[in-house]
């Protein structure tokens, strides 16, 4: 597709909370990665158990570049998207166009 995915959190063995030192490092790393992103994707198909993704969506809203939502909007901030998709397959097809 020609995109570079930056999402170190995918490789995390589990949520760092309540380990304060590890949690701070994880949050700083995630925010640094978001500063390099050209686009953002928020997935509401699989519910978050910690809600970190809501903070990340808020950060994404302060950045330029498209913001895509896969799944149904869960709050009014999700309506500030560039485009919504019902599935990851639909998003992939759209990105490949």
Burial class (CB in 10 A: 0-12, 13-18, 19+), 57: buried
pLDDT of 10: 74
End-to-end alpha-carbon separation of the chain, Å?
10
pLDDT of 27: 87
**Mean pLDDT within 77-96:** 95
pLDDT of 1: 65
Residues 6+ apart with CB under 8 A from 71: 43, 44, 45, 86
Question: Which residue do the tokens 């030192």 mark?
Answer: 21
pLDDT bin (cut points 50, 70, 90) of residue 36 is confident
């Amino acid at each position: 597709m020609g995109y570079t995915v930056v999402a170190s959190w995918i490789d995390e063995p589990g949520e760092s909370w309540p380990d304060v030192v590890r949690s701070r490092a994880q949050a700083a790393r995630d925010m640094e990665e978001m500063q390099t992103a050209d686009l953002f994707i928020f997935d509401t198909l699989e519910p978050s158990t910690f809600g970190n993704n809501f903070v990340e969506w808020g950060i994404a809203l302060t950045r330029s570049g498209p913001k895509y939502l896969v799944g149904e909007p869960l709050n009014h901030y999700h309506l500030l998207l560039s485009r919504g998709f019902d599935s990851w397959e639909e998003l992939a097809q759209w990105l490949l166009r």
